[in-house]
Structure formats: C-alpha cells, structure tokens
Structure 1
C-alpha cells in the first residue's frame, strides 16, 4: 500500500507549556504570533482573533502551570492538515512508550450561554448570537484525530475539553448536558479551575493526570506522521452509503454500475492508469452511481476511494447523507498530490474551475498515483464562465501512453417521473425548436403569476411532498447584518382580471440559517435549501439546486432570459450574479440557457413555470394550456 507523504503541520506556536507561559509575558510574543499566523497560510488575523489570544491563552497556561504540567507540549492555533479547522490549543503528553495523550482544548471568552437543540447554543442571553455548541466542536476535532492520524511508531489517546475561563459555575452548568450524552467532553468554568487545588485534582480536570513530558523522539514521530483515513472510518462511510435509500440503483444505473466496476477491475489488474468518463443528462443518476461506487470501493479495497465535487452545495449534502463524523475530508476535491486511494470520483465535473491549468495537468499532477479516475459530466450544466470541462479534454488524456480513457453513457431518466419526453422537451425548448407539451407522463404547467405558483407549492406541501421554488440569479444576494431585513425576490405583477397591482416577496438564498427562540431551524442556510425542512420558505438559485432533486420544482424565469420571436435573448445586465460581470452576450446566453435547464429538471413529480417577462410568459403559455391550481 502506498504511503501518503507527511502533511506539514501548521500552527501559530508550539513549545513546552512552561516556556510558553513565560513567552506570554513578553510584549512582542503576540506580534510574533501574528506573523506566524500569516506564514502558516491562515490569512490575516483580525483584531477579535488577536484579542482572543490575549484574553484566553494566559488563563489556560496559568492553569496548566498550576497543575504541574510545565513539561507537556502545547500547540496554539493548531491547523488540521486538511485545512478545514483549527484547534485553539492541542496538548501532547506521553502516557507510555509509543503512546501520547492528545488533548484538544476549546477556549471561550463567554460568560453566559444557553443550550439549544441541534447542538447549538445562544451566547449572551435572549437575542444573543447562535453558535455551535463547543462540546460538539471538540467532538468533531477529536473524531478527526482518531480517524485521520496515522503512524507506525505512535498511537494517540485522544481527549478533549472546553474551558470558559470568564464564566462562573452557574453559567456553565447549562452547557454540561451535551457532554453527558456520549461526547465525553468536560466543560470547565474559570471559577471551577481557580478554586481547584494545585496538583492531582487539577490535572484530572485538565484530562492530563497520566501525561508527562513528551520525548524528542515522540514529538518528531507526531510531527512527521501521515494524515490519512483509517479503515474504521472508510468502513463506516461505506456502510452509511450502502444503507442510504437515495443511492439505490435501478435499471440503467445498475447496468452502468456493473459495467464501470468491470472497467475499474480491468484497470486495476492492468496496472495502467485509467480515466473513465461517464456522460449523463439531468436525472440520469450520476450522483447516485458515484456514491455507490464510492461505498463499494471504500468497503472492498485496502486503500479505499475518494469522492470530490466542485459543487459546495452537493458536497455538503453528500456529507450529511454519509452522516459519519470525521469523514468530511473524504468528500473534498483532491488538491495537491493524492496518494493512498484506489479510486477517485469527480462528480459534477462540469463545475471544475478553469484556472490552474487544463484537466490533463490536474490528472497528471494531482492524481498521477491513483489507478482509476471516474469523471461524471454533463456539458450542458456549465453555469459559470470560470468553470467547465469538455469531454474532448478528457479524451485528450489518451494521448499520454500511460493513460487509458474509456467512456460510458447514462441514458436513463430517474428524475421527472422517469419521463424521457420531458427531458427531450426541455432540450428542444432551450437548444432547438420548441414544441407544444402533450405527454401524459410528467406533470408540467405554466402558472399565471407568482402567487399562483405559491398556492401550487402549498398544495404540494399539504400532500407531504418536498416542493421548492427556484429562480434565475436576477435579485441581489447581499449578506445582511443581524436584525436587518433579508434581501429577497421581489416581483410586481398585475391581475389581468381586476387590474390590481401586486407585490410578491420571498426570502432569497439565505446566507445563514434562521433559528427560532427554542433553537429550532426555521429556514436552513441556502446550501441545504433543497433538502432540509424549512427550505420551502425561501427561493433558491442554480448554485444551491444543481446536483440535487426534490419532488416538485417551481421555476421563475427572470428578466435575464427572454423570448423574442423565434429565439432566446440573454440580458446580462439583468443578472445580479457577480460571476457574470465581464461575460459577453453570446456566452451569457449559453450560461443562462444551461441555468434554467438545470432548474427545470430538479423535480421528480412536477414542474411549474413562470416568467417575469410578459412576452416570454405568453410564449411559455402558448406551449401548453395553463394548469389549474
């Protein structure tokens, strides 16, 4: 089995606890940490970050010194090698030959916080900020250490604790319930630590009663170890995927799965690198097939498989679907040289960014050590000017004598009620000669106004169906401060019968989830809009819908794409998507057509259309009779 090269550790400071306590008394120490923060690639530290160092590091170091733990090793602002998280502090202490205690410490300056549902807390009383429960934070960090640290010479006994150094015991007590529900992470108040006598009791509180000085050999083994998923993690993810009903394969998907497995087996037996291109339109089962391949090879092969997608929305949703703590890195798009994987799956490859060289460079540079790469692609789902991958680029890899390229086509339709007629109609509508809709195998219609679309949505919801309304990117997506009104979709329309003017407004792509007084999620953050409860209370866009599906799809065509005569016209100036600022008219037309094609093909059972442009609305209506609500 090939070994991953060690990932360089990144942190702001490391050293013995006793030495670090002395450094904190030096005026220049914090400024030196600013420089190390930048050098580690963490970015520019904000003033709030630096103030947290000044306020939180000294109480922790004083407690460690009082406990007689001066010889332990400490990292401050320890960055996990996958780059997604930073620990406030990580303590290392030897518990025997070849074993270290690794204690993750989460520091909080809070004086008061109340536990809510869904592993959340409200900080500072009623109306305060909603944050992740610090015990849940630590649980994520410790799980990462358990599943990803790999060393032939060293094992970690992973532990964690939360230290609210400004808080009294009465303020911390409400937070301790979560630590008693399987997380096993104590929450310490400043009052408790200060009143605990020096010595053994304090060492127990800090989870270091059996820890002593780390030897130079142990420290070197820790800092040069590999970070890669262990077999337990791979097996857990494989089992979760196999059990998930969203990834059950039928019909054409199952045939494709068996054929691709045979091709993968041939590639592994030949010893040559192979790239398998899987083309498929909307609803052809690309992601379901990709996840089944992931689960299969993660569970059967020694080194496992990796899944990556450029779509942040899809990535977040498949992580939730797997539901295994510590597994998030398995779903990241590989960057840098990847080793230790039998199979890499690139889903939604049409979303790959064009910067940093062509696709061939990416495969030869980043994935050169991976025997098989499977690429899932639909060229008509390219929606940004900076993105896109053509099938010709994949086939061009065959010019390299070391690489075999094979193709597979997914021709089935498992969305839109399995209606090939609807998929064909949508493609004709946008790319060919539109014709009237008459097929009985899919529920398609045009509504007269947005209020009518909302009534249709409500009826779907009453039938316990997952219905959503999406729209073109024709409204601003500005982030707002807490307490300000969310920007939203605003449509003015006039009743043809009464002549009355109406204003229809709905929330639009929420940057942050909305939390109720009891901690319940009222509306999810936009990346989870399509799949989580409460998503029906906002309007989504192509970036938060692509790669996903729901029962019923309402689509609002904005003024950026209009029908004039026998052709579509794109109006880039009507777009609020910052990615389109410098796009020419011809390219924007292609992207707009692709965007609305994606939105119209999300619905499993039905689709309703509405255009804010009167002439376009008349054109759509002419293709079918209005559907009564």
Structure 2
C-alpha cells in the first residue's frame, strides 16, 4: 500500500498549486512508489493518481464521508497485483466494518473482443486486449476473500466497483454486457449520482480508522501451491483464483472450445484464420497454437491445472504433458490418492493417460488428442530420441515440438524463456512459434506478467535476473520491498539450522544446491553424503531410479516433509515451490569483475559431458540458478561456497541470519533486517 489517509486529509492534497504539473497528492505518491517499489511510477499510474483519485475523494466529501479512510494501491496477498483504492469505514445499517474496492480507469472508449466477452480494448493504443474491468474487480474481490479470512467472517463486508469517470455510457456500451455482481459494478461519467449512492449505502459518516487497521493487520492465508491446486480440483470451489492476463488466457481458450460445440466436433471453431472471425463458418484445417509465457511464479502450472479442470467440468478431456519427471509423477500420485476401493487400477490408467511426458507422442496419430497442455514447455527437447529409443524408431532430426503439435487438435504451451537447464532443451517462445508457423499453424502468444511467488515481488524477480546477467542491467544491491525476505547465511550449518526451524514452525522449507558434487547411488539402504562443504555434509535427494527407506522418492522431494533431510537439485525443484528456500551456490558459479561467471570444470552435471560448447553450458548453469533462486514463496536464504562470491553476496544482500531471544525462550536463528514480515519482528512486551 502506498498511502492511507482520511477523505478529509486527502481533500487538502488534491488542491492544485501554481506552477506544479502534479497535485500534491500525486507528488507524494510518486515519492512513495519510488521508495517502496524501487522504480519510477509509470505514466498511467501518475495520470490516474492526478486525475482519477480526486474524483473519488470529492464524491466522498460531497456525501459527508470525511472520516472514511482511503487506502491507495492496496497489494493483493502473495501477488504483485494491487487494487487502486480500498475505502474503509462502518456500514450505515449494521455498524460492522465495511469496505469498497474501487478500480479506476481513465478510458473514454472501449470495445469488446467478439470472440471473448471478457477481453476488451480500452483504447490505450498498445494493441493488447485487457481483462474486462468489471471482471478484474470481481476477481480482485474474490482473491481478497480467499486469502483474507477476516473478510470472510462477514460475507457482505466487501463490495467492488469500477469507475470510468471520463467515459459516457454510449462510448463504452459494450462493457455493460458482462453481468454485474456485488463484487463488480460499473459506473461512468453519466452515473456519478449512482456512484455516490453506493458510497452512502456502504459507508457511514463515522471514522474508518479501525476498519482500515483491521484490514491492514488481517492474517493472510498461505498461498496455494501448485500441488494444493492439483489436490483441490475435485472440490467445489477448489480451483485457482486467476487474475488479469491469467484469467483472460484461460477464458479465451475455453470459450473458443465452447464455440466448437455447436458443430459437434473440435475440428472447427478454434482452427480458423483471424480474418474470418466475423464470418458465419470458421475455415477448417488451420490449427491454432497457444503459447503462454511467464516468469517464475507467474502461475503457469496453476493455469495449466485450472485449464484442465475447467475443460473437465465442461466434458472436455485435456491431457497435461511435461518434461519434468517430478512434476508428472507428483500429479499422477495425487490422482491415485483419489481412487476408491477396488478402482486403483482404473485410476492408474487414467492418471497415465492424462499426465504424460513430451516424448510420448512420437507415435500418436495426427489430431488424436483434443487438447494437449504442455506445461514446463521450456524443457521441450530437440527430439524425442533418447538412449533407450529402439534403433528403428530413432529420428534425431524431427523436433519433439512438431510431434506434440501434430498430435493435438489444440496445442497449448506454457513456458519461461529462462528455465531451460539441459543442453538439448530448446523450448523458447520464439522457437515454438517458428516451428508452429512452419507447420501452417496460427500462433497466439500471451505474456503472463503477474507473480504469485516471492510474496508477489516483481522486484525480486528482476533482481535475480540482474544478479545472474539474464537481463540487460548489471547486478544491483537488493532493496527490501516488504514482500520477499532475502538473507545470507554465513555457513551451510547456519542455513540448515534456520531452514529446519522454519519447518518445525509448520512452513514448507527446503535446501537446494548447484550440481557441483557427485550424485551417488545409495549405499544399501543409506544415502551417501555427497554434498560436502568443510565439515558439513548431506545427501542429495534420492535418484529417480532408486528408493530409500525414510526418504521420499525424487519426484516427491519438494512436497514430502521428509525432503528436508536431503539437498535438492534443480531437476527435482523445478516447477515446485516452498515457503522458505535455501540455496547453496556451488563453485560452478563465481562472481568476478562485477558479474557471475560459469566455471564448467566445477560442474558434476552429466548433461555437460561430451561435445557441449561453453556458451550452452553457461546458459544452462545460469538458468539452473535462476530456477533455484525463485522457488521461495516467503523467503530465500543464500550461501556461496566460493569465499569471494560469498563476500560479494554479503555486499549485495543486506539481510543476515543471527541469534535473537523471543519471549524469554532459548535463542534461535532468525532472519534479521527491515525486510522481515511483522510476525518475525514483534515480541510481547
């Protein structure tokens, strides 16, 4: 949140000053944005603060609601999305805490995509459709109710509205086609009197400070992990609350599939040229490929699972494929857990049909699968040939992606351009787009720009990419943003102590490391302590082809609590997330001359054996650490084996781990620093 003041206090800040381009309120918000978010505010934000907020403040003052508290840019839990305004006060009828979430838009004209009624062009001139503003505020309210139990105590405490204060009804008429709810009403310049009546119906002429404080201090429910979403899909209301472009992507695909129902087949409807969109009959034979691209924590896997769930509810079977053994086997295991007595074999067959690997489509007939969702598509290989492929079936020249596209009527790829970690992994958006077009397909690329990991910290994502040289900017010191805790451990022992304490508190916590130590087979029924740093030594997670009593299988390492006893590698950590993330940077990544450099001689990854050029090894190692550093939901602790690298990390990261007394108890390891969440800063007096 950037600012909280009463309507009366804000009223004094919206009086223009001579010689100033911005209102005093706008200048204050510009400074707060730079201080809190670590970057300059966008032109759209500045214009909204200067032109839109005063409309709401004046309406509050006109209604005598001077004491209502106004919160500006209120962050949604665990994500980088924010509600423009939340008005906090007392309900005029019940006296209970009452909240009005307001989404402000400066649009003057709007049109709705004829193929997708929740995708709209708001006239910003960027050529991109946005989520319908009414659906946007509805989803924001739903998200707040999901993750703020305090709001659920009174289901009528929260209302959502959209205010288009520059537009007349006639100029945005198409937007009124979307049904309104208590969490999403639409008002324009023609409706300002109705907007004021909403204010007085939801807010009393009383102080809103207590309500604002209660909302700010409300306990946040933990973020649903990918595996949580997978387990809850069979529960009514158990799906993911999608936001913004995530919602648009899923809705657009499912609506296109619905359009095919009247033709009785999936052979038409989705497969047409955009120029024929307004025709009565789509052109058959033109396949459309969807590519959804997003960074770590952008909701790719959750979107894939939600898309599969949504299609299943509509009677459409969708296959979910991946190149990750851990991910695929975890999903199969979750499905097997729902088997009724005597139906385990049937459920196993269904799990193997619905959750597959990228290399399992080489012999699939064309268009034999209705919808094929390829998650973790950055792990798409050059070809499906591997060491156990029979000689007569080997085809090193046929790209694996072409097999997938050919097999599916509707191919959908979800990927991150910076997460390919093996030399033969080639799944970038550009590569897939090129292959699909060569096959005569239409291609639609959507960027998932939000983040549901690292406390919703976009700054942390940028910082990791800068640190590893994956962006055009040089490494910079981490500036705490109140969302993500980042700290340095001074030894692997200290890291493990800290991570285990978080586990004992009930958080999910794991330690991972770069692949710089050998990975031995078990010694009988005992894992070998391969990861050795000084006197400290721990085993890697169990190899995929082995099992060891007391330790989880490799594909369950990220989700089985026993996984805290082993060190995870990138191949078991990728796709998954946990609350606290310990990362050991091995000697394969050295900070020299102001940047990270890869020392391939220190890597023990067997993927780099043979004729693999240095540039490819560098790409894979940097991407691997990009994966490892972005698994944490609440916080990340780092330690570098190389002393010079560790000292550079100390310079770049202000957080440290130290000993503190809590409530007279024995001292324990805690992360220290201003970036810590309040729960870790407070003591009883």
TM-score, normalised via structure 1 length: 0.56
Match of 2:354 in 1: 330
Match of 1:135 in 2: none
Q: How many residues align?
A: 376
Task: Tell me if the contact between 1:241 and 1:322 (Cα under 8 Å) persists in the aligned partners.
Answer: no
Match of 2:302 in 1: 288
Match of 1:550 in 2: 578
1:300 aligns with 2:334: no
Please give the alpha-carbon distance, in whole angstroms, between the structure 1 residues aligned to 2:525 and 2:407: 51
Unmatched 5+ residue regions in structure 1?
1-236, 493-502, 516-521
Match of 1:234 in 2: none
1:259 aligns with 2:252: yes
1:454 CA drift (Å): 1.1
1:299-378 aligned within 5 A: 299-301=313-315, 304-323=317-336, 324=338, 325-326=347-348, 327-333=351-357, 334-335=360-361, 336-338=363-365, 339-356=367-384, 362=400, 364-365=402-403, 367-368=405-406, 370-378=408-416
Residue 401 to residue 328, structure 1, CA distance change in 2 (3 Å): closer
Task: Tell me if the contact between 1:249 and 1:289 (Cα under 8 Å) persists in the aligned partners.
Answer: no
Please give the alpha-carbon distance, in whole angstroms, between the structure 1 residues aligned to 2:283 and 2:231: 29
Residue 294 to residue 567, structure 1, CA distance change in 2 (3 Å): same
1:408 aligns with 2:446: yes
Task: Tell me if the contact between 1:472 and 1:557 (Cα under 8 Å) persists in the aligned partners.
Answer: yes
Off by >4 Å, runs of 4+ in structure 1: 237-240, 244-247, 263-266, 356-367
1:401 CA drift (Å): 7.3
Match of 2:133 in 1: none
Match of 2:494 in 1: 452
The root-mean-square deviation of aligned C-alpha atoms, in Å, is: 2.6
Unmatched 5+ residue regions in structure 2?
1-228, 260-268, 272-281, 339-346, 385-394, 658-669, 671-685
Match of 1:594 in 2: 623
Please give the alpha-carbon distance, in whole angstroms, between the structure 2 residues aligned to 1:359 and 1:395: 18
Please give the alpha-carbon distance, in whole angstroms, between the structure 2 residues aligned to 1:528 and 1:401: 37
1:489 CA drift (Å): 1.0
Residue 246 to residue 452, structure 1, CA distance change in 2 (3 Å): farther
Please give the alpha-carbon distance, in whole angstroms, between the structure 2 residues aligned to 1:542 and 1:244: 34
Residue 299 to residue 478, structure 1, CA distance change in 2 (3 Å): same
Task: Tell me if the contact between 2:382 and 2:399 (Cα under 8 Å) persists in the aligned partners.
Answer: no
Task: Tell me if the contact between 1:530 and 1:545 (Cα under 8 Å) persists in the aligned partners.
Answer: yes
Residue 588 to residue 291, structure 1, CA distance change in 2 (3 Å): same
1:294 CA drift (Å): 1.4
Task: Tell me if the contact between 2:256 and 2:270 (Cα under 8 Å) persists in the aligned partners.
Answer: yes
Which of 568, 591, 599 in structure 2 is aligned with 1:571?
599
1:17-28 aligned within 5 A: none
Residue 370 to residue 301, structure 1, CA distance change in 2 (3 Å): farther
After superposition, give the CA deviation of every residue in 1:200-259 in whole Å (9 maximum; x if it has no partner).
Answer: xxxxxxxxxxxxxxxxxxxxxxxxxxxxxxxxxxxxx99963439985133233333223
Greater shift, 441-450 or 241-250, is seen at 241-250
1:249 aligns with 2:241: yes
Match of 2:434 in 1: 396
1:478 CA drift (Å): 1.7
1:209-288 aligned within 5 A: 241-243=233-235, 248-252=240-244, 253-264=246-257, 265=259, 266-267=269-270, 271=284, 272-288=286-302
Greater shift, 536-545 or 472-481, is seen at 472-481
Task: Tell me if the contact between 2:312 and 2:318 (Cα under 8 Å) persists in the aligned partners.
Answer: yes
Please give the alpha-carbon distance, in whole angstroms, between the structure 1 residues aligned to 2:403 and 2:419: 26
1:321 CA drift (Å): 3.0
Please give the alpha-carbon distance, in whole angstroms, between the structure 1 residues aligned to 2:587 and 2:289: 41
Please give the alpha-carbon distance, in whole angstroms, between the structure 2 residues aligned to 1:433 and 1:359: 38
Which of 506, 512, 517 in structure 1 is aligned with 2:538?
506
Residue 365 to residue 577, structure 1, CA distance change in 2 (3 Å): closer
1:476 CA drift (Å): 0.8
Residue 250 to residue 354, structure 1, CA distance change in 2 (3 Å): same
Which of 494, 504, 515 in structure 2 is aligned with 1:462?
504
Please give the alpha-carbon distance, in whole angstroms, between the structure 2 residues aligned to 1:254 and 1:452: 42
Please give the alpha-carbon distance, in whole angstroms, between the structure 2 residues aligned to 1:422 and 1:239: 29
Task: Tell me if the contact between 2:531 and 2:540 (Cα under 8 Å) persists in the aligned partners.
Answer: yes
Match of 2:567 in 1: 539
Greater shift, 533-542 or 324-333, is seen at 324-333
Match of 2:83 in 1: none
After superposition, give the CA deviation of every residue in 1:378-422 in whole Å (9 maximum; x if it has no partner).
Answer: 121010102122222222245457421111110000011111111
Task: Tell me if the contact between 2:405 and 2:436 (Cα under 8 Å) persists in the aligned partners.
Answer: no
Please give the alpha-carbon distance, in whole angstroms, between the structure 1 residues aligned to 2:463 and 2:231: 39
After superposition, give the CA deviation of every residue in 1:572-622 in whole Å (9 maximum; x if it has no partner).
Answer: 111111111233332222211111110010011000000000000001110
Task: Tell me if the contact between 1:360 and 1:397 (Cα under 8 Å) persists in the aligned partners.
Answer: no
Residue 398 to residue 528, structure 1, CA distance change in 2 (3 Å): closer
1:369 CA drift (Å): 5.2
1:458 CA drift (Å): 2.0
Residue 401 to residue 375, structure 1, CA distance change in 2 (3 Å): closer
Residue 363 to residue 381, structure 1, CA distance change in 2 (3 Å): closer
Task: Tell me if the contact between 1:491 and 1:504 (Cα under 8 Å) persists in the aligned partners.
Answer: yes
Please give the alpha-carbon distance, in whole angstroms, between the structure 2 residues aligned to 1:384 and 1:368: 24
Residue 415 to residue 448, structure 1, CA distance change in 2 (3 Å): same
Task: Tell me if the contact between 2:293 and 2:414 (Cα under 8 Å) persists in the aligned partners.
Answer: yes
Greater shift, 404-413 or 480-489, is seen at 480-489
After superposition, give the CA deviation of every residue in 1:465-492 in whole Å (9 maximum; x if it has no partner).
Answer: 0100000001111213415552421101
SS class of match (1:243): coil
1:420 aligns with 2:413: no
Residue 364 to residue 262, structure 1, CA distance change in 2 (3 Å): same
SS class of match (1:573): helix
TM-score, normalised via structure 2 length: 0.52
Please give the alpha-carbon distance, in whole angstroms, between the structure 1 residues aligned to 2:236 and 2:552: 22
